[in-house]
Structure formats: C-alpha cells, structure tokens
C-alpha cells in the first residue's frame, strides 16, 4: 500500500508492505538514477518477517519533485533528514536499513544523527568519496569526475545509455535496459545536480561517529566503488564486516540478488537485531 497520511511520507513516496506491525522494519533506499522499484528482486525475500518500507529520494521516482530545492539538496545531509523524517512519522526505531551506493552514505549520516532509529545498516556498494587522493583509492581521478559530470550535462540520455552497462552487467541486456529506463524517467536537471553532489561529496570524516553495526557489501568488479573502498570502510567503521560479491558492476541487487540476500541473512543471524 502507499502511505499518504503525512507530508514526509508523501514527499518521499513511501510504500509499506510485508509483515504487519509489530514486525521489525527493513527500510530500502536506492541510489543515483534509480527509485524504489529497483529493489524488486531483493525486498520480497524478507516480506514474511519484516515490514518493508521503501521510499524514493526526493527528486526521484514518484517523490514530490516540487520539493526538490537545489540549494537545500546541495549536500547529502538533506536526504538524511528526509529519511529521518519518514522514520519519525512512522515511529520506527532499530530498523534494518539497506542502502545502495550513495544512499548507503545517506543512511550512515542519518544513523549518526539519530542512532536509536537504526539497528543494523546494510551498505551495498558504498563509497564515502568517489575521488582519489593521497592515501585513498576512490575509483576516479578528479579530472575523470569532471569529465563524467560534463558528459552527463551535455547529453544526459546518451550518458545514461553508456553508464547503465558499467553500473550493471553489459552481458545482461534486460538489466541494462531496466537501469537505462530508470535514468530516462528521472528529471535530467535533478539527476545532474544529484550526481554532482554525489561524486563531489566527501564523508570520510563522518565515519568514526557511526556506532550502528554495518555490513559492507562490495562488488568484486566495480569501477565506481572498487573493493579497496570496502576495505577502507571496514577499517574506519568501528562495528563493521565486509563481504565481497563476485559480480560485475555497481548494482549487485540487480545482478546478484540471491548472493546479496544470503549475505544479509547471514549478517542478521550472526548479529540479530531483535531477541
């Protein structure tokens, strides 16, 4: 069902399914160019035990795009505040948060702000920074990021068609098309702005403040967030564990959902949220 009772839920197009309350909640948040429908291969596996709470980043999917203010959303903190507003209005605590790519860091920021709202974090292909610098391997040189953003702004649809195979698996055209269509259904101006915020953000200094246990799921062949990023996060998040999934691209929830589900199940069994 679609929740339509409060402004935060409408703004983020929150949908709730799965087990009824008081079952624990599992919250899913998508990355750049996607929306909540990207979890359709993953979320149903948990529907018998958890309330499934899916939302769209403001500016994506069926969210209230009129609420997207470029100045307000000039950092990831505004998206973290949106996530927290949803959790408050649903009166949720100790949730299991599953975030993809930049949404992983949005979840980290939200958990730092209000740690009692989060029981566990599942960070899928996360990166606190996408630019290499001294002592950090983030996947891109600064000039590469600028070229990527310039290409996106010059020809958004052409950029989307070329980026989708990189983010998924070029040998699986149905998945490439799924992500391409998702990019095409995102407002280009908002997508370009969010991409700039994403690729130029740096949240390495925030990592030591996270106290919520976290599972880092890294793709083995990911040029956007390579395994070295997962190792860096493992070393800088106090209560974390790392699992590497042998799949191409940056979107294991699309290319290897079964492996992602198994790793999440193992994480929750080893470190159960609820007694």
Query: What is the side-by-side order of every strand in the sheet holding 214-221?
Result: 15-18, 51-55, 25-29, 95-100, 118-124, 214-221, 240-248
Handedness of CA 171, 199, 9, 68 (dihedral sign): negative
- Residue 193 known to be catalytic: no
- Give me the catalytic one of 79, 100, 250, 253: 250
Tokens of 80: 């973290």
Place of tokens 């925030």: 206
How many degrees, rounded to 5, is the angle at CA 61 between CA 58 and CA 62?
A: 85
Clarify whether 250 is annotated catalytic: yes
CA 142, distance to chain mean position in Å, is 23
Q: Is 222 a catalytic residue?
A: yes
CB 233 within 8 A of CB 240: yes
Q: Which of 60, 50, 43, 55 is nearest to 14 (CA)?
A: 55
Answer for the pair 231, 80: CB distance below 8 angstroms, yes or no: no
Per-residue burial over 164-195, b = 16 or more CB atoms within 10 Å of its CB, e = otherwise: bbbbbbeeeeebbebbbebbeebebebbbbbb
Residue tagged active-site, from 222, 240, 251, 253:
222
Which positions are catalytic? 101, 222, 250
């Amino acid at each position: 069902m679609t929740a339509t009772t409060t402004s935060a839920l409408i703004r983020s197009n929150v949908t709730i399914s799965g087990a009824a309350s008081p079952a624990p909640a599992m919250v899913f948040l998508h990355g750049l160019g996607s929306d909540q429908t990207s979890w359709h291969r993953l979320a149903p596996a948990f529907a018998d035990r958890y309330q499934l709470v899916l939302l769209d980043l403001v500016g994506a999917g069926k969210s209230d795009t009129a609420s997207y203010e470029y100045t307000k959303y000039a950092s990831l903190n505004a998206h973290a505040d949106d996530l927290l507003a949803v959790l408050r209005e649903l009166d949720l605590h100790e949730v299991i948060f599953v975030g993809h790519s930049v949404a992983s860091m949005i979840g980290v920021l939200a958990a730092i702000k209000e740690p009692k709202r989060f029981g566990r974090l599942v960070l899928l292909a996360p990166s606190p920074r996408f630019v290499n610098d001294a002592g950090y391997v983030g996947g891109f040189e600064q000039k590469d990021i600028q070229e990527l953003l310039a290409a996106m702004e010059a020809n958004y649809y052409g950029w989307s068609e070329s980026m989708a195979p990189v983010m998924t698996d070029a040998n699986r055209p149905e998945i490439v098309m799924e992500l391409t269509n998702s990019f095409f259904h995102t407002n280009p101006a908002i997508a370009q702005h969010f991409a700039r915020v994403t690729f130029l953000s740096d949240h390495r200094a925030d990592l030591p403040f996270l106290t919520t246990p976290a599972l880092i799921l890294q793709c083995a062949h990911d040029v956007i967030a390579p395994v070295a990023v997962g190792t860096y996060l493992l070393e800088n998040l106090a209560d974390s564990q790392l699992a590497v999934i042998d799949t191409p691209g940056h979107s294991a929830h699309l290319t290897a959902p079964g492996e992602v589900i198994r790793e999440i199940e193992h994480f929750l069994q080893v470190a159960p949220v609820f007694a």
